[in-house]
Amino acid sequence: MKTTFEQLRGAARALALALLLLTAFSAPARAQSSGAAAAPAPAPAQSKEAADTLRLVTEFEVGGLKVLVKRREGSQSVVTGLFLRGGARNVTAENAGVEALMLDVATEASQKYPLAVMRRELARTGTNLSYGINYDYSVLSLASTRRYFDRSWDIFVDSSLHPSFTQEDFDRVKSRTLVSLSDNEDTPDSFLQQLQSRVAYAGHPYLNDPRGTVASVNGLTLEQVKAYHQRMMQTSRMLLVVVGDVDPQNIRRKVEASFSRLPKGDYRAEPLPQLSFRTPTVAVTERPLPTNYVQGLFAAPPLTSNDIYPMRVASSILQNRVYAEVRVRRNLSYAPDAFLWSQGANAGGIYVTATDANQAVRVMLEEIKRLQTQEISPDEIKATAQQFLTRYYMGQETNAAQAGELAQYELIGGGWRNSAVFIDRLRAVTPSDVKRAANTYMRNLQFVVIGDPRQIDKGVFTQQAGE
């Protein structure tokens, strides 16, 4: 069957999401703690596995642009991501969505590759060009075969530096974006995330969704997008990651021939405020639905914290337990979940859809209480960590996932080298680490509910508090 451009666009969207690693290695989510905590025991000496990973990555800088190249010998594809730092901190409530719109239009056409030529070349070479954005950073992404990498790189560079930004392309992309944003309230899960953001991110930079709103995107003009592009084209704002069977010195030459002419600028990211919830809350939005949609967030440690490792294990244990209790044993919900995100200002939580939301949430909070008060056997820790690692290894099979992990740790995780020691530190987690992390972070949940307010006992939702 012949590949259509829309199929290529869909594949490219998947690539961009992999590069962004929006939810990292936790269960699928529907998107520093509030108290100080002692760090877990120091990680063991670096393993051979970590050392081997570090040796595969070459780091260099060209004109202020930091570049990471990971060589995977024998790989027939090459993935490239140009990451822009800042995310939600780059925009205001008035222009939120400008960065996403800029990147989207840039994938349509460039000065050397008008729309028709761009589509023909992408299809001919089997190349995917797309973008993605989250609260912390965005990416213009490229996936190509090794055979056509040189040609694809030329398209990528011209789209990055010289997008055509025609009025026709802008109007089409803006219209498509507005349709997508206007649909958010029509889907309960999407609307739930909107409501959760308003509660959890009040007074925080994340309150300005970098994807924008119908109101903010509707007010954007082509001239604003062009001006924003000019402002962002500074190497101090960028990170370039390439993964595939490529020669790092060849990549250096390509970068020097293209991005070295950009101004460096003086961008420095300000420290990101961490989330802090002092009391548990619940906000109910009435909708005539056959079931209630529920999500509760708690503040979680960022990737730079040593507590992230026991929290990964704690979240995985909680996920297994709520699934067993809520779905298997009590049949209260088809898809209960516990999750942990990977954001600069991080959060974790629980999610459930249930006709009897009170009972489902009560059971889930009881499982959190068990984590906080009962001893966890070393065997359960080991089994959970191994299950987690299996999902992690499977998720790291593609070049896109490995590029995304390098970028994520470089941008919000204290440096890309931390990605190599992740496994060692996870394996060093003890039962006492997990119990301490659960007590420190899994408290003062901020609940949002969509459904029937008459069916919701707010006392059940706010019973689990922390000092």
Q: Where is 320: in which H helix or E strand?
A: helix 308-322
Q: In what order do the strands lie in the sheet with 137-145?
A: 57-62, 65-71, 238-244, 77-85, 137-145, 128-133
pLDDT of residue 463: 85
Q: Which of 123, 180, 130, 147 is nearest to 11 (CA)?
A: 130
Q: Vertex 22, ends 385 and 422: CA angle to 5°?
A: 35
- Each residue's pLDDT, cut to its tens digit, for the chain (467 residues) gives 333 434 444 444 545 555 665 433 333 333 333 333 444 444 445 677 778 788 999 999 999 999 999 999 999 999 999 999 999 999 999 999 999 999 999 999 999 999 999 999 999 999 999 999 999 999 999 999 999 999 999 999 999 999 999 999 999 999 999 999 998 888 999 999 999 999 999 999 999 999 999 999 999 999 999 999 999 999 999 999 999 999 999 999 999 999 999 999 999 988 899 999 999 999 999 999 999 999 999 999 999 999 999 999 999 999 999 999 999 999 999 989 999 999 999 999 999 999 999 999 999 999 999 999 998 988 888 888 888 788 877 878 899 999 999 999 999 999 999 988 888 888 899 999 999 999 999 999 999 999 999 999 999 999 875 54
* Both structure tokens of 40: 């877990």
> What gap in Å lies between CA 254 and CA 144, rounded to an integer?
16
Contact 293, 449 (CB under 8 A): yes
Distance CA 338, CA 297 (A): 10
What is the reported pLDDT for 21? 52
Tokens representing residue 329 in the block = 């044993």
Nearest to 136 by CA among 80, 172, 90: 90
Quote the pLDDT of residue 50: 77
| Burial state string for 115-137 with b = 16 or more CB within 10 A and e = fewer than 16 | eeebbebbeebbbbbbbbbbbbb
| Token pair of 253 as six digits | 């030459």
The number of helices, as runs of H, and strands, as runs of E, in the chain is 17, 11
94 within 8 A of 110, measured Cβ to Cβ = no
Residue 316's H or E segment, with its range, is helix 308-322
> What pLDDT does 4 receive?
42
- Helix/strand/coil percent split, the chain, to 5: 50, 15, 35
Whole-angstrom CA distances from 266 to 64, 110, 286, 321, 327 are 10, 27, 47, 48, 52
pLDDT value at position 30? Answer: 38
Query: 3-class DSSP state for residue 172?
Result: helix
| 260 CB-near residues (< 8 Å, 6+ apart) | 62, 63, 65
Q: Give the pLDDT confidence score for residue 39 in this predicted structure.
A: 43
pTM: 0.89
CA angle 45, 48, 50 (to 5 degrees): 80
Domains, the chain, in order of start with CATH, read 5-27+56-261 (3.30.830.10), 281-461 (3.30.830.10)
Cα separation, 2 vs 215, in Å, equals 38
What whole-number distance in Å separates Cα of residue 400 and Cα of residue 18? Answer: 6
Is the CB of residue 145 less than 8 Å from the CB of residue 77?
Answer: yes
